[in-house]
Amino acid sequence: MILHLLLLTGSVSAAPGDAPRSPAPGLIEYVNPARYEITQSINATNTDVSALELLELNLPIPQNWPEQHVSDVAVTGDATFRLRDLEGMGTIVRSLYRQAGQGPKPGESRTLTVTYRLECREIRTDSAALATRRYPSYDQRSPDYRRFTRGEKLIEADAPPIAALAQELRRQAPGPYAYARAAFDHVVDHTEYVSPSPAQGALECLQKGKADCGSYAALFVALCRAGGVPARPVAGCWALGDNQWHCWAEFLLPGVGWVPADPTAAQRGAGERAYYFGNLDNNRVALAKTFNLTVNTTRGSRELGFVQVGTWWWVPAPGSSGSRMGVEHRFRGAKAPD
């Protein structure tokens, strides 16, 4: 039996034209560092009656961003190696059992574990200054602008209903900051949080009005893009607890930098609504600043939609569905000792 299993919680390296930029002094600050110990692991148990001829396990190592720093990375597992996806995936740790006898026999397991320390900083912006600032025009020829204003799967910025709503919001809120705030308010005011989500992506979120955090972020990003404001989703996890995954977003202000927005967390109350447009707490891990990543595997390239903890699949062997493979994933974060 040949079984392919991929667990990918995502990490994204800077794409060409997306090099880290220094924010305008005083407008965006990274403060109040918090330190965590993170453990990610995947355990695959062969509960079938036949031996595996191939097994592949994958885990990410999140990259550094202005708001987070990863250090003291340790990898535990058999036949491990690191690879970097050509399309900007960041570092992936892979265990690959490709020869007969390497994979788990019936009743046996294989485990891949990544541990690291994370320093996460709160993102704070000067909302009053950003709201009254005069912004230069975007460079529409830049790689950032082209990449982060396009429509794509799950972020359907070019869908007619989203484009029409964007046009209406632009009439009400000219300028990139005001427009992003109008898009944010629309998502917060017109979407009900439901998990598991009945919506997959921005368009269904707009149409159904009910979704989880991934589709909240997708709709905000799609509205920003449709209105000419570059934006991207962020898939990640709360830094404390077990498997507490979450999605939020960022939009790009010309001459300033990337500004965070979390429309899901904003629904907790009036204070949170004001805070989570432009600010972000220091209790989260940014695993992937994109959706729709293409991953190269031993069985060919595969595309992921939402990239979160718990995203995995297998390609079944001929004559087997793979349903007898037991898979357990854990993402655990704890406060680092002082």
Average pLDDT score over residue span 247-261: 96
Q: 329: pLDDT confidence band, cut at 50, 70 and 90?
A: confident
Domain formed by 124-287, architecture: Roll (3.10)
In the predicted structure, residue 321 carries a pLDDT above the cut 80: no
CB 188 within 8 A of CB 273: yes
User: pLDDT digit string (tens) for 28-46?
Assistant: 999 999 999 999 998 888 8
At residue 297, the pLDDT reads 65
Please, what is the end-to-end C-alpha distance for the chain in angstroms? 48
For 211, other C-beta atoms within 10 Å of its C-beta total 28
Average pLDDT of the chain?
A: 83
Give the per-residue pLDDT at 108.
83
Sign of CA dihedral 132, 18, 240, 30: negative
The pair of three-digit structure tokens given for residue 165, joined into one six-digit string: 């709503």
- pLDDT band, residue 217 (cuts 50/70/90): very high
Strands 68-76 and 109-125: antiparallel
Please tell me the predicted confidence (pLDDT) of residue 314.
43
Q: Evaluate if residue 305 carries a pLDDT over 70.
A: no
Alpha helices in the chain (DSSP H): 127-132, 143-148, 160-172, 176-190, 202-208, 213-226, 270-275
So what's the pLDDT on residue 313?
40
Of the candidate ranges 169-178, 193-202, 215-224, the one whose mean pLDDT is the lowest: 193-202
How many Cβ atoms sit within 10 Å of the Cβ of residue 293? 23
Residue position matching structure tokens 């990543």? 293
Closest to 46 in 3D by CA, of 317, 331, 333, 330: 317
Which residue intervals of the chain bear CATH 3.10.620.30?
124-287
Q: What tokens were used for 13?
A: 């390296």
Dump pLDDT digits (tens) for 78-101. 878 776 653 434 577 777 776 656
Query: CA-based Rg of the chain, rounded to a whole angstrom?
Result: 21
Spatial separation of the C-alpha atoms in residues 81 and 31, rounded to whole Å: 35
Q: How confident is the model at residue 210 (pLDDT cuts 50, 70, 90)?
A: very high
Contact 62, 122 (CB under 8 A): no
Q: What is the pLDDT of residue 298?
A: 62
Q: Name 249's Cβ contacts closer than 8 Å, sequence gap at least 6.
A: 217, 220, 221, 224, 231, 232, 233, 234, 260, 261, 262, 263
List C-alpha distances in Å: 247 to 250, 256, 264: 11, 23, 8
Q: How confident is the model at residue 7 (pLDDT cuts 50, 70, 90)?
A: very low
**Mean per-residue pLDDT, 246-257:** 95
Quick one: average pLDDT of 9-36? Answer: 63
Q: Which amino acid is at 136?
A: P
Structure letter (DSSP) for residue 210: E
- Chain segment 271-280, per-residue pLDDT in tens: 999 999 999 9
Give yes or no for residue 301 having a pLDDT over 70. Answer: no
Task: Decide: residue 135, CB within 10 A, 0-12 exposed, 13-18 middle, 19+ buried.
Answer: middle
In degrees, to the nearest 5, what angle opens at C-alpha 88 toward C-alphas 238 and 199?
50
Predicted pLDDT of residue 48:
74
Q: Are 57 and 270 in contact (CB under 8 A)?
A: no
